[in-house]
Amino acid sequence: MSDGPAPTDFASANARLAELEQALIADVASAQDAAAVDQVRAKYLGRHGLLQALWQVLPQMPPDEKPQFGQRLNTLKTQWTQAVEARRMALAAPAVDGPMLDLTLPGHPPAIGHRHPITQVIDQVLGVFERLGFAVIEGPEIETAFHNFDALNIPPDHPSREAFDTFFVNTTPETLLRSHTSPVQVRYLEAHADDPRPFRIVVPGRVYRPDALDASHCFQFHQIEGLVVEPGVTFADLKGLLAAFVQAVFGPATRLRFRPHFFPFTEPSAEADISCIFCRGHGCRVCGQKGWLEILGAGMVHPRVFAATRWPTASRGLAFGLGVERIAMLRYGIDDIRLFFENDVRFLHQF
Ligand code: PHE
């Protein structure tokens, strides 16, 4: 710092201020306690301090430079005071052991949930059918034997009515955990028997069977049932609807084939396969070299179902039922059904 006579022009006065500022910064940094800070404050900012001394040169300055220089002195007084007081506070703060709290670090984002993969598949399938004019209907998971079996033409001695194939809840009246979504066909028909009009419904829901748990069986899973009752509806309509459905869900190149099958509540009945989405029908491990994957059961509504629900027995309808887990497993390449129900977020986060 030059100790010569006080400068009288703006440029050299500014240069002097810059020198002072450097000196102040050094002095502030080396002050180790409150008394030292007081000394620095007195030296630069006190009534007889270095900054105050510069006010004395103001009268000697050219008149057009005076206002700017005065302003500069005022600004520096504020800045320097802040620097000195910040040092005082830093020295007063208690010493911190261990890592400092770093307020600039990003926070912990809250975990945001999303729909379960099964729900996503259900929503997608329902969306396809809603665009085809279907309404979405639901029914109870605890059912009567009448809705789950009798009205669907499943006789009392049918094997699916054995205790090892159905979870029974009560004996009188006989109630059970529904083993498929088809009882909702019965409920919907019953509810509209007095005013039988054409309709199209899809029914998503949980179903239960006392199967031993393994990679492809679980005691609970989901089905989506479909029922169309319209004059003149045929097996060709059933094929057309299901072809539109599999192409929407599995891609336009997917082929559909029907195999004859038996269900007591449809006649004729079929099981439907899609061309394997992994090998495009050439044969691979997933389809067991067959080139086809079974995905649903379907058929034309049996007249006895109309009779049991007090509909005109000449009514015509088509019905189908598909397993949601099966579709989700194929869609996402999942090889174990248990993953859907274990609530392991490492699995669920991937969808
Ligand atoms: N309810 C049948 C099942 O669970 C599927 C099905 C529904 C078949 C509708 C035909 C018509 O296997």
Asked, for residue 162, whether it belongs to a domain, the answer is yes
**Residue 274 buriedness (CB in 10 A; 0-12 / 13-18 / 19+):** buried
Asked, for residue 102, whether it belongs to a domain, the answer is no
Asked, for residue 173, whether it belongs to a domain, the answer is yes
What's the average model confidence in pLDDT over 258-278? Answer: 96
88 and 124 fall within a common domain: no
Instruction: Quote the CA–CA distance of 51 and 17 in Å, as a whole number.
Output: 8
Asked, for residue 111, whether it belongs to a domain, the answer is no
Tell the residue number behind the tokens 């669907």, with chain if given: 152
196 and 319 fall within a common domain: yes
160 and 196 fall within a common domain: yes
At 240-263, the pLDDT tens digits run 999 999 999 999 999 999 999 999
The predicted structure's pLDDT at residue 117: 96
Considering 75, 92, 109, which residue would you say is the last residue of a domain? 92
- Quote the ligand 1 centre to 277 CA distance (angstroms): 23
What's the average model confidence in pLDDT over 137-145? Answer: 98
Question: Domain of 234?
Answer: 117-348
Considering 92, 127, 156, which residue would you say is the last residue of a domain? 92
The predicted structure's pLDDT at residue 2: 47
> CATH code at 299?
3.30.930.10
With a 6 Å cutoff on the Cβ, whether 330 touches ligand 1 is: no
At 143-202, the pLDDT tens digits run 999 999 999 999 999 999 998 899 999 998 999 999 999 999 999 999 999 999 999 999
Tell the residue number behind the tokens 């067959």, with chain if given: 290
182 and 270 fall within a common domain: yes
Give strand pairing partners of 322: 224, 296
239 and 344 fall within a common domain: yes
pLDDT over threshold 60, residue 17: yes
With a 6 Å cutoff on the Cβ, whether 221 touches ligand 1 is: no
146 and 254 fall within a common domain: yes
197 and 313 fall within a common domain: yes
**pLDDT confidence bin for 4, thresholds 50/70/90:** low
73 and 151 fall within a common domain: no
C-alpha to C-alpha distances, 286 to 322, 329, 339, nearest whole angstrom:
19, 11, 18
Q: What is the mean pLDDT of the chain?
A: 92
The predicted structure's pLDDT at residue 133: 97
Higher pLDDT: 297 or 63? It is: 297
Asked, for residue 4, whether it belongs to a domain, the answer is no
159 and 27 fall within a common domain: no
At 310-350, the pLDDT tens digits run 999 999 999 999 999 999 999 998 999 999 999 999 999 99
135 and 80 fall within a common domain: no
Instruction: Quote the CA–CA distance of 298 and 322 in Å, as a whole number.
Output: 9
- Quote the ligand 1 centre to 225 CA distance (angstroms): 7
At 202-239, the pLDDT tens digits run 999 999 999 999 998 999 999 999 999 999 999 999 99
Asked, for residue 129, whether it belongs to a domain, the answer is yes
Cα dihedral 139, 140, 146, 151, rounded to 10, equals 10
Q: Is-cis flag, bond preceding 140, omega within 30?
A: no
Asked, for residue 103, whether it belongs to a domain, the answer is no
With a 6 Å cutoff on the Cβ, whether 179 touches ligand 1 is: no
- Three-state secondary structure call for residue 81: helix
Considering 77, 92, 107, which residue would you say is the last residue of a domain? 92
- Global pTM? 0.70
* Residue 227 Cα: closest atom of ligand 1: 9
Split into its structural domains, the chain has a count of: 2
237 and 338 fall within a common domain: yes
Asked, for residue 46, whether it belongs to a domain, the answer is yes
191 and 307 fall within a common domain: yes
Which among 158, 181, 182 is the best mutation to test ligand 1's pocket, defined by most ligand atoms within 8 Å of the CB? 182
